[in-house]
């Protein structure tokens, strides 16, 4: 399937799959990628209690963090509502993540795909002028994740950092 959503035979892929994609949803795509290179240990083994904890985090990030911060990209959203969303995020979602990071470097102890996802979503706070300084565990976490070589490379590739 190419960008025009046509199969190699010329058929409209949207008649086969209305979503127009093979895999969608960030949490699923990330698990698929992690499972392709299990030696990197970006996700615990399938069927383990740790994998279900990872899935819990991925779903929390998607439904609470991504959904919450992501809506702020809507230019039609009134400023008053944006401020209410920001206050709600600080009171609930950021407070939960702050508490969860107490005494640990990453969400599950070791770096996983959930950390990559959370870092991405929390990095959007920069675009929306959300100050995270009231959350020292989150602030330290963001610095720790940002310092990872693979994160540096990805952010450079995305134009979020200047090439060294």
Whether the per-residue pLDDT at 64 is higher than 80: the answer is: yes
Q: What are φ and ψ of residue 24, in 5° steps?
A: -135, 170
78-82, 137-141, 160-164: lowest mean pLDDT where?
160-164
Query: What's the whole-number mean pLDDT along residues 66-91?
Result: 95
pLDDT at 57: 97
Residue pLDDT, tens place only, 147-158: 999 999 999 998
More confident residue, 13 or 149: 149
Distance separating alpha carbons of residues 41 and 34, to the nearest angstrom: 7
Residue with token string 């090439």: 163
pLDDT, tens digit (0-9, with 9 covering 90-100), for 89-103: 999 999 999 999 999
Place 79 in a pLDDT band, splitting at 50, 70 and 90. Answer: very high
For residue 2, pLDDT over 80 is answered with: no
pLDDT mean over 94-122: 97
pLDDT at 164: 64
pLDDT given for residue 1 in this prediction: 62
Which of these, 91, 96, 105, lies nearest to 57 by C-alpha position? 96
Q: Are 92 and 63 in contact (CB under 8 A)?
A: no
Q: Kindly tell me if the per-residue pLDDT of 84 is higher than 70.
A: yes
Structure tokens at 155: 């952010």
Q: Which of 48, 39, 42, 46 is nearest to 30 (CA)?
A: 42
User: Rounded to an integer, what distance in angstroms lies between the CA atom of residue 37 and that of residue 151?
Assistant: 17
Residues β-bridged to residue 108: 110
pLDDT greater than 80 at residue 138: yes
Q: How much is the pTM?
A: 0.85
42 touches 113 (CB < 8 A)? yes
Residue 159 has pLDDT above 80, yes or no: yes
């Amino acid at each position: 399937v190419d960008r025009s959503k046509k199969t190699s035979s010329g058929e409209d892929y949207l008649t086969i799959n209305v979503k127009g994609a093979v895999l969608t949803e960030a949490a699923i795509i990330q698990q698929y990628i992690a499972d392709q290179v299990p030696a990197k240990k970006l996700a615990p083994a399938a069927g383990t209690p740790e994998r279900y904890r990872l899935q819990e985090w991925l779903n929390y990030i998607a439904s609470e963090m991504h959904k919450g911060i992501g809506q702020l990209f809507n230019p039609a959203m009134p400023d008053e509502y944006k401020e209410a969303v920001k206050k709600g995020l600080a009171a609930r979602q950021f407070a939960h993540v702050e508490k969860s990071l107490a005494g640990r470097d990453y969400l599950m102890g070791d770096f996983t795909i959930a950390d990559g996802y959370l870092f991405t979503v929390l990095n959007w706070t920069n675009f929306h002028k959300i100050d995270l300084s009231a959350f020292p565990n989150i602030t330290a976490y963001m610095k720790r994740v940002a310092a990872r070589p693979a994160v540096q490379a990805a952010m450079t590739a995305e134009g979020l950092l200047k090439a060294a």
